[in-house]
Structure 1
Amino acid sequence: MKRQKFWTLAALPLLAAGATLTMAPSASASATDAAACTHPAWSNKDAGSGYISGSSAPLRTGPNEGCPTTATIYGAKLYYHCYVVNSAGNTWTHARIDGTQINGWIYDGNLNDNGATKPC
């Protein structure tokens, strides 16, 4: 069973000391998101399957929120291939939508059972 990572808010000491935080312009945010969209190797190592935990969830081209969406899943069954831990410490499962050849990455927090159990 894989482990989820939990992070504490490291910015509190800075805020208490009077530091100010600024937002980057949207053009910089897009460049950061695009740079964060990696495409790690994957293979079908997991025999598991599952469903999304909410009403819909995006299937993406890479294991990061900044990656483009391949499809939006509405209650379809997913067949799991494997998982990775992205640069933010979150686990993402590579999966295929049942009855299709559509596959991609889905954030494990969107899955009813935390996704694949085999690392890529």
Structure 2
Amino acid sequence: MTNPGMFGRIAAVTGAAALVFTGLSGPAGAAERQAASAAAPGLGTSAVTCGNAAWPHEPYDGRTGKTTARAAVHTGPYGDCTVKAYLPIDTKVIFDCYTVNDYGNTWTWVRDPQGASIGWVYDAYLSSGGSNKLCPKY
């Protein structure tokens, strides 16, 4: 079954592959590194600069989903960014928006069911692949 917003998201990811948010650059973590090396071989190991753990913004997507595995919550959209918490499998979250990191991997900013910001989760660990709304640039 195809995610209804998937085609628009694929186009956005393709068009935004070079999108980098200021302060959110660096190498991916172990799982993300494997995906990155398949998608973009030869990428280096630059220093990681991660975003604000309490990134202030209004929700964009608003759809809900669940974690599909135990998911680390990071301060930025890279596996090497600080882990704030771990969400158990089947944890309900609100999808806020997604970004594409330097390696072409997508990460979604998630909120708890009451709307409080949680942080960045790698989309492979979210139902429906995470958010369908691209995060605005700040």
Same fold per superposition (TM over 0.5)? yes
Task: Name 2:64's counterpart in structure 1.
Answer: 49
Q: How does 1:87-98 map to 2 (within 5 A)?
A: 87-98=102-113
The answer (yes or no) to whether the contact 2:39–2:103 under 8 Å persists in 1 is no
Asked whether 1:67 is paired with 2:81, we answer yes
Task: Name 1:105's counterpart in structure 2.
Answer: 120
Task: Name 1:18's counterpart in structure 2.
Answer: none
- From 71, 82, 85, give the equivalent of 2:100: 85
What secondary structure, in the 3-state scheme, does the structure 2 residue paired with 1:82 have?
strand
Q: Deviations over 1:33-67 (max 9, x none)?
A: x33x245775311021111112x110111111111
Percentage of matched positions with identical amino acids = 28
Please report the TM-score for the alignment, with normalisation by the length of structure 1.
Answer: 0.68
Unaligned runs of 5+ in 2: 15-34
* Separation (CA, whole Å) in 1 of partners of 2:133 and 2:85: 23
Unaligned runs of 5+ in 1: 12-23
The answer (yes or no) to whether the contact 2:94–2:115 under 8 Å persists in 1 is no
Number of matched pairs: 100
Q: Read off the aligned partner of 2:82 and give its amino acid letter.
A: P
* Separation (CA, whole Å) in 1 of partners of 2:39 and 2:101: 17
Q: Read off the aligned partner of 1:69 and give its amino acid letter.
A: V
Q: Which has the larger radius of gyration?
A: 1
* Separation (CA, whole Å) in 2 of partners of 1:85 and 1:38: 14
* Separation (CA, whole Å) in 1 of partners of 2:116 and 2:63: 17
